[in-house]
Every structure is written in C-alpha cells, then in structure tokens.
Amino acid sequence: MKPHSVSGVEMRKRQAAHIEAPPQVPGQPRPNTCCLCWCGCCKCLWNEDRIERSERQTCTKMDSIEAAGEQRPSLEELLSWSRSFEMMLRSLEGREVFRDFLRSEYSEDNLLFWLACEELKKETNPSVVDEKARIIYEDYVSILSPKEVSLDSRVREGINQSLTEPSNMMYEEAQLQIYTLMHRDSFPRFLNSSVYRDLLDSRRRTCLDT
C-alpha cells in the first residue's frame, strides 16, 4: 500500500501545532516551548543563563570603555605626538595639552586662530562664512585686536583685500604661516616642557603598575 503523502501546507500546520505553547494561565510562568529556546520566549534555565551572560559581557565591555576613557591619552598616543606635530593637532587631547603649554608662553592665540580657520573651511553657507570670517579678522588679524597673531605684511594685506568678498579659504595662507610658526618654534619646546614630560611619565608609571 502506497504511504499517504502529506502536503506542504498540512506539514506546516503540524509543525506549528507542535511548537505552539498551550495557553498561558495568568499569574503562572510560561512553560518551556522548545529545548533550545531559539525564540527567547520561555523561562527555562538555558534562556535565563543566556540573558545573564549577555548582561555580564555588556557590563564588562562598558567597564573597559570607561577605563580607557579615564586613561586617555594613552602612552602610545603620547609617544606618537613626539613623532608628528600633525598627529598631535588631530588629537583632541593633544590640542588641549598643547594649548596648556602655549598658554604658559602667552601664545595660545596662535592655536586658537588655527582652529578658527579650520572651522571656517568647513562652512558652505555664505552668510555664515561672512560672519565667521569677520569675527576671525576682528579677533586675530586686526591691529586693534588684543589677540593679534604674528603675520607678515604681505599676508595681512591679502586678508584685508579678501574682506570685500569673504570666503571659507581666505585665511589659508595665514593659517599655514601660523602652523609653521607653531611647528618650528613652539612644538620643540613643548616636547621638552614639564607639561608634556610629566604627562608622559605618568602614563609610563600607569603602564608599569598594570
């Protein structure tokens, strides 16, 4: 006798009936519906243990992130600054430490001017460009500004002419001049300063302790 064939639809109905849990009684935990709890819907020990492991892993990961945040900048990052002025400027922590040093030498405005020019380059809105360009001029370029940066007369004259039609790149040459000044003059002194050396020694001690 030929075995009775089962259609695909009937097979799916039987499978659904097999894994479907009985109605849940209010106030009672839902019974196990599958041996591996693939759907995460039951309260068997396997599923509870899986959730607990996941929470522990998340906490451990967050603890690691917080610990890393407390120790920044890392020793590796600090050492990279000594090899590259550009790398230090790209680092938020690097800029902050370098700014502290420049403040001690009364030349903090050089870095602030450079950063303001970087922000101006990102602007595309003409009205915002016009406003920021004039603020930079009044704060750092005008001879009336108490924060005037050291620019040669040729560069300064070029900026004065650009003020009639400000652009987001109008300070590019002046920015390069200040960058070069910081790189050649301030940066070597920074690397030999107590600001940088003390921070470097502190990170080295932390690495030895761990």
> For the chain, what are the domain ranges?
75-209
180 pLDDT more than 90 = yes
Cα radius of gyration (the chain): 32
Task: Find out whether 33 and 21 touch, Cβ atoms under 8 Å.
Answer: yes
Average pLDDT of span 172-196:
97
The DSSP H or E segment spanning 172 is helix 172-181
Please give the CATH number for the structural domain made up of 75-209: 1.10.167.10
4 pLDDT more than 70 = no
Percent of the chain whose pLDDT exceeds 90:
58
55 pLDDT more than 50 = no
Kindly list the distances between the CA atom of residue 169 and the CA atoms of 125, 147, 150, 177, 206, in Å, as whole numbers in the listed order: 13, 21, 19, 14, 43
Predicted TM-score of the model (pTM):
0.65
